[in-house]
Structure 1
Amino acid sequence: MYIPKYFEVTDKEEIFAFVESNAFGQLISNVGGKLFSTHMPFLLSDDKTKIIGHLAIQNPQHSDLSGQEVLITLQGPHDYISPSWYASPGVPTWNYQAVHIYGKASVFSSSEKIKSVVDTLTQKYESSFSQPWKPEYKAAMLSALVGVEITISEIQCKYKLSQNRSSQDREQVVTKLNEVGSHELASSMVRNQL
């Protein structure tokens, strides 16, 4: 990913917090000589060295995955930025936050390990509900899945949040983003630079 210095994020705690909060992304690999992408949720291992998830066993991506260097892309809030929002001249652009994770993939079929992944994902996303659903799976449901584990070799993080603009321009962008309902991106800008 192209990352100009003023958009680069290198703080590991910030990067891993972003990964945990924006863990739905794309697993990109090669299937039969062609790039292939699956949109899916991911889990970061406790020691932050692996990314774990699962695919439907019918998804052809898992068949060529073991041993491949893969790319996972994760994205946070994003929106169009109009040059009319600046006090000084500018061009139309897009503000966003993104993480790219590279690593070597492996596939697993242990029903216990797959169940653990599915249970952990379910607990993570059900926990915000007033009456969380409790996992109850039949063995046949879990046998329709294959686990995926990526050992992280490199992480790139880019927060393009108007850091290259003046303080006045950044404040105006935050105001305009809030006006158009892009509150998460506006909050990210405030949290990360104003």
Structure 2
Amino acid sequence: MDALINFCHHVSSLDINAKKALHNANFESKFFKKGEPILRENSYCNHLYFITKGLTKFCFSSEEKEFIMRFFPENILFTNLDNYTSGRKSKYKFIAIEDTSLIQISITEFELLCKQHHSIETFYRKFMTMANKNMMERISEMLEEEAKNRYENFTKKFPFLMQRVSLGDLSNYLGITQVSLSRIRAK
């Protein structure tokens, strides 16, 4: 729980009462084996998730091809923003890439914490803004950058993931084939 509170406090300063409220909130611990879905396609994402150990991918499939939008390692809070804002069933899914332990809280319950604690509401607003900014940067990168540049950007931004992400998942994240990825890596 301390890691989550530190994450929140790093994004936006929390007062002591907000920290206590988060510490006492109704977070539920969950464990997912490697390859197990955390959120399936065509379901509703009603939770915020915080990974305490492991790695997940946020992805969708189309005609036998998987597209990976993001990887979420330890000490990251995440949810499905599209589903959260639209209220429709998700076309995306979260899959555990490694055995993954996380804590989750319902978005409804988290919003109650926001109503009770201004500093938690401020954190949540900043968190959602950051998440939207990250997604827009990701979309922009996919549309504007060549595959070689996308690979170099990934190795610079996420060097700690290079040994944890399979070549198949990395190629799906970059939007290229494994053969193309091998060529880029060989240069």
Tell me which interval the TM-score lies in, with the shorter structure as reference length. under 0.3
- The structure with the largest alpha-carbon Rg is 1
TM-score by length of 2: 0.24
TM-score by length of 1: 0.24
